[in-house]
Chain A
Amino acid sequence: MLLLCKSPVYYSINKMQADKEIPIKKAATKEGEVVIAIKGLKKSFGKNRVLKNINLEVTKGENVVVLGRSGQGKSVTIECIVGLLKPDAGSLKVFGQEVAEMDEMQLKELRMKIGFLFQSGALYDSMTVRENLEFPLTRVLKMDDQSEIDKRVNDVLESVGLADAIDKMPSDLSGGMRKRVGLARTLIVNPEIMLYDEPTTGLDPITSREISELMLKMQKKYKISSIIITHDMECARIVADRVLIMDEGEYIAEGSFEELRKSKNKLAEAYFTDIS
């Protein structure tokens, strides 16, 4: 145990669990309120119909996990939510506003309330960790008080257990550290919604668990609503309030993790086969 206590992993988990306060503005939505409402969403790329009929509601503070094979349109759905892609048909409302009808300014305001964690972390590789974290503060929130910026950067880095990496370049970080910095960069602007695109892919089981627990911690602490796309069943088990299974552009099964584990749906069975 003593050895374990001194190991970097134990130290890292311990640091992550330290209850560091991230300054946060008051949430504009109430608990239980629908923050994302999708009805009949369709999206095609040429002749390839990726999203055929997507219907989904996510409430304030809810963690929704989406499972599905690669190429089924999971990432396309969350890219539509932030306006990176425009749907062909259907309704997609975030905080009650139709995303497709938003002008540039409204879209920018919406994006300030949504955090998007990319599969690779998508850190700006010409900037240090500090500069990566300062970027949304100075460019998006237009903050100019350096002491306040430093405080936020330090606080959020401590929350993800990477205070020591502040002056490192992304190329000096491991995959797990990159994802944590990516998460810190999205959390630093205090989003109300988080969209995670395969947050634990390519990570070892310990780091995957750390990231999953961190996601859960953020949800509990700040009532952040999340959509998590993952193939990692352990991650799904830890974070999910609700699980959806996507196949051929549609959600074919829905329920809690336990409900789907007992489901007779063939695709669900395929996912939950190895879960004891």
Chain B
Amino acid sequence: MAEELEAEYPGWKKALEDTGEQVGFFSRFFKNIFTGGFEWSELVRQCYEIGYRSIMLVGITSFIMGVVLILQLRPTLIKFGASSMLPTTLSVSFIREIGPVIIAIICAGKMASSIGAELGSMKVTEQLDAMEVSGANPVQYLVVTRILATTLMVPLLTVIGDVIGLFGGFLALNLRDSVSFSLYFTKVIGALGFTDLFPALIKTIFFGMAIGFVGCYKGFHTSKGTESVGISANSAVVTASLWIFVIDAIAVQITSILFYK
């Protein structure tokens, strides 16, 4: 039966095994959050490495996105005589969708690859095995701390990126028009409600968790050889980016059903 299925649909067994392994890995992560000996100092170190060291990248990208969006939106809105809607349009589109998704993609590129490469090289150089045979728990020390750090830091970076992006929009708007700081931000904040902020923030938590999980999983499952480290890092970025879009699609559906009937 299994052989017939394999002939008909090659790779199904491997796909099932991979899914099973991922579920097992995720359950090990959850189990280890609540078992004794939580690594607080390592969590703080990872938050610093993953979060603080990404602020510059996220800030610059968000600022440019804010500027570009205003420059792209302006001619179109002027055509409809709605140039006064620029801050509102930027604010809603940036906070609801563009900010969280683009920042998460940037974080996937930076965090998932670095986690995948770091754990992958630890695997290749037998450091993970050394940790395991010493009786220490590599999942608790390496995986739990990294996934929690990305889960905490991606939403925080998104908030920071959103603010910087909106500020970039303000500067871009003043390149052509003259809008006061208070008027711009009154319009920006006035356009936002609970249904814009809350779902956007919640989905970034899942983005962060996906980035950390994919990075750790790919790193832990690196096969032997230095070439595999590069493959793991690359695969971590691609898979995490894909997951971000999948989660975003699901989140938008749920938000639409709950808030925009």
Which residues in A have some Cβ–Cβ distance to B below 8 Å? 79, 82, 84, 108-109, 111-112, 114, 116, 118-120, 122-126, 135-136, 139-140, 142, 182, 185-186, 189
Which residues of A lie under 8 Å from residue B133 when comparing CB positions?
A: 82, 84, 111, 114, 116
* Chain B 49-86 per-residue mask, 1 if CB under 8 angstroms from chain A, else 0: 00000000000000000000000000000000000000
Is there an interface contact between A122 and B129, defined as CB atoms closer than 8 Å? Answer: yes
Contacts of A186 in B (CB 8 A): 134
- 5 CB contacts below 8 A, A to B, read A111-B132, A116-B129, A119-B126, A124-B131, A139-B137
Among A79, A124, A139, the residue within 8 A (CB) of B127 is A124
Cα A186 to Cα B118 in complex, Å, equals 23
**Does B37 have its Cβ within 8 Å of any Cβ on chain A?**
yes
Contacts of B129 on A, CB cut-off 8 Å? 79, 84, 116, 118, 122
Q: B residues engaging A (CB < 8 A)?
A: 37, 118, 122, 125-127, 129-137, 141
Residue of B nearest to A182 (CB): B130
* Complex contact A123–B127 (CB within 8 A): yes
| Complex interface: chain A residues within 8 A of B122 (CB) | 124-125
Residues of B within 8 A of A135 (CB): 131, 134, 136
Q: What is the total of A-B residue contacts with beta carbons within 8 Å?
A: 57
Q: Are B37 and A139 in contact (CB under 8 A)?
A: yes
Q: Judge whether B126 and A122 touch: CB under 8 Å.
A: yes
Docked complex Cα distance between A140 and B137 (Å): 8
Q: Distance (Å) between the CB of A187 and the closest chain B CB?
A: 12
Q: In the complex, are the beta carbons of B136 and A136 less than 8 A apart?
A: yes
In the complex, what residue of chain B is closest to A111 when comparing beta carbons?
A: B135
Closest to B136 in A: A139
Known: A116-B130, A125-B127. 17 other contacts (CB 8 A): A79-B129, A82-B133, A111-B132, A116-B133, A118-B126, A118-B130, A119-B126, A122-B126, A124-B127, A124-B130, A135-B136, A139-B37, A139-B134, A139-B137, A139-B141, A140-B135, A189-B134
Chain A residues with CB under 8 Å of B136's CB are: 135-136, 139-140
- Give the complex CA separation of A186 and B131 in angstroms: 11
CA distance A68 to B131 in the complex (A): 27
A108 to B139 Cα, complex, angstroms:
14
CB distance from A142 to the nearest CB of B (A): 7
Nearest CB on A from B244, distance (A): 27
B134:A140 contact, CB within 8 angstroms: yes
CB of A270 to closest CB in B, whole Å: 28
Chain B residue numbers with a CB within 8 Å of A123 are: 127
Docked pose: A182 CA to B118 CA in angstroms: 20
Contacts A118-B126, A120-B125, A120-B126 given; indicate if A112 touches B135 (C-beta within 8 A).
Answer: yes
Residues of B within 8 A of A82 (CB): 133
In the assembled complex, the Cα of A112 lies from the Cα of B135 at a distance in Å of: 6
* Cα A140 to Cα B118 with chains together (Å): 23
Q: Report the Cα distance A109→B122, complex, angstroms.
A: 24
Q: Which residues of chain B have C-beta atoms less than 8 A from A120's C-beta?
A: 125-126
CA of A125 to CA of B126, assembled, Å: 11
A122 and B125 in contact, given A139-B37, A139-B141, A142-B37 (Cβ under 8 angstroms): yes
Closest to A113 in B: B135
Rank and list the top 6 A-B pairs by shortest CB-CB distance, nearest first. Answer: A122-B130, A111-B135, A122-B126, A139-B136, A140-B135, A116-B133
Residues of A within 8 A of B118 (CB): 126
B residues near A142, Cβ cutoff 8 Å: 37
Tell me the bound Cα distance from A185 to B136 in angstroms.
Answer: 13
With a CB–CB cut-off of 8 A, which chain A residues contact B130?
116, 118, 122, 124, 182
